């Protein structure tokens, strides 16, 4: 989640915990968030190249609204295609998990309809979701919470529906090349037709290959902008045709200008919580 507002606000609002060791499951990242205030918090969410699971552990229910105005409360799953999503609540505490799309397909199961931007974790995991939430609330430390969550993810990954190796390969190639690989070339590399790749990839991730590549590139651009690089430099170095191309992509994903994305306070928090974004890859 990335919020808009004064840059100093995000750093002062959140206590952030990260795992002390590398996880057992590639393509997964975790971080713990606790608000330092009981005042209401309103977060605008910018899409990431990962599926996000937020396990609600706070004193007040976390409410997530999608672009259509639909509302989910408690523990939620925010899909890869999510845009215009906002999270609201008070006394917020949550465990946030980021899953690469191939891992998310196995962990969340076929019930995670790709077209849905926000889903209830209870609807996907049933009683397992409530059980995990209770265990996490009772844990003595964030490290214990991370271990419990990882155990649950590994169990579901090992028994869940496996994604086609071709889809996982295409995702890895996109991540490695910051989205700068043509769909036709990827289809040829896996021995599929362009139509088959498009169909299978979209069925497993919720996005077509071209849109997914754009999202990966946008995410990298957003962090470069937040690091203080000019829009012109970012456009040239990441592979946009020109600065106006970067502007269009940023507006499409974030709904604001590159300047506003560069000043977004949650990007600073993002770099603390996800300093090594290994969740993007599956190997």
CA distances from 197 to 47, 171, 259, 263 (A): 23, 11, 35, 37
Please state which of the ranges 28-32, 74-78, 149-153, 168-172 shows the lowest mean pLDDT: 74-78
Enumerate the domain spans of the chain: 7-162, 165-267
Distance (Å, whole) CA 33 – CA 142: 10
| Residue 1 pLDDT exceeds 50 | no
| Architecture of the 7-162 domain | Sandwich (2.60)
Looking at residue 6, its pLDDT comes to 41
| Residue 3 pLDDT exceeds 50 | no
Looking at residue 56, its pLDDT comes to 93
Distance (Å, whole) CA 66 – CA 72: 9
Q: For residue range 186-216, list pLDDT tens digits in order.
A: 999 999 999 999 999 988 888 899 999 999 9
Q: For residue range 5-64, list pLDDT tens digits in order.
A: 344 455 567 889 999 888 899 899 999 998 887 777 777 777 788 898 999 998 877 888
- Contact call for residues 212 and 170 (beta carbons, < 8 A): no
Report the alpha-carbon angle 236-241-247, nearest 5: 85
Q: Please tell me the pTM assigned to this model.
A: 0.88
Looking at residue 118, its pLDDT comes to 85
Q: Output the CATH code of domain 165-267.
A: 1.10.10.60
Q: Which residue has the higher pLDDT, 152 or 271?
A: 152
Looking at residue 283, its pLDDT comes to 64
């Amino acid at each position: 989640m990335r919020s808009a507002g004064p840059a100093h606000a995000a750093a002062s609002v959140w206590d952030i915990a990260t795992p002390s060791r590398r996880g057992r499951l590639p393509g997964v990242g975790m971080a713990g968030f606790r608000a330092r205030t009981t005042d209401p918090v309103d977060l605008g969410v910018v899409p990431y190249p990962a599926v996000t699971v937020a396990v609600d552990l706070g004193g007040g229910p976390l409410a997530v609204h999608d672009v259509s105005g639909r509302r989910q409360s408690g523990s939620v799953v925010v899909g890869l295609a999510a845009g215009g999503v906002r999270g609201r609540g008070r006394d917020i505490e949550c465990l946030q998990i980021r899953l690469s799309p191939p891992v998310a397909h196995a962990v969340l199961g076929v019930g995670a309809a790709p077209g849905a931007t926000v889903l209830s974790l209870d609807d996907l995991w049933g009683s397992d979701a409530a059980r995990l939430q209770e265990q996490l609330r009772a844990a003595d430390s964030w490290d214990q919470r991370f271990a419990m969550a990882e155990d649950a993810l590994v169990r579901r990954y090992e028994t869940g529906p496996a994604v086609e190796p071709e889809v996982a390969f295409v995702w890895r190639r996109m991540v490695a090349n910051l989205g700068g690989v043509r769909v036709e070339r990827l289809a040829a590399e896996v021995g599929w037709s362009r139509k088959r790749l498009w169909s299978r990839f979209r069925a497993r991730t919720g996005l077509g290959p071209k849109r997914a590549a754009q999202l990966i590139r946008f995410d990298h651009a957003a962090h470069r902008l937040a690091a203080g690089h000019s829009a012109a430099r970012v456009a040239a170095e990441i592979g946009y045709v020109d600065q106006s191309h970067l502007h269009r992509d940023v507006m499409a994903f974030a709904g604001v200008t590159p300047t506003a994305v560069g000043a977004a306070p949650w990007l600073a928090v993002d770099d603390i919580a996800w300093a090594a974004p290994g969740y993007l890859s599956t190997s």
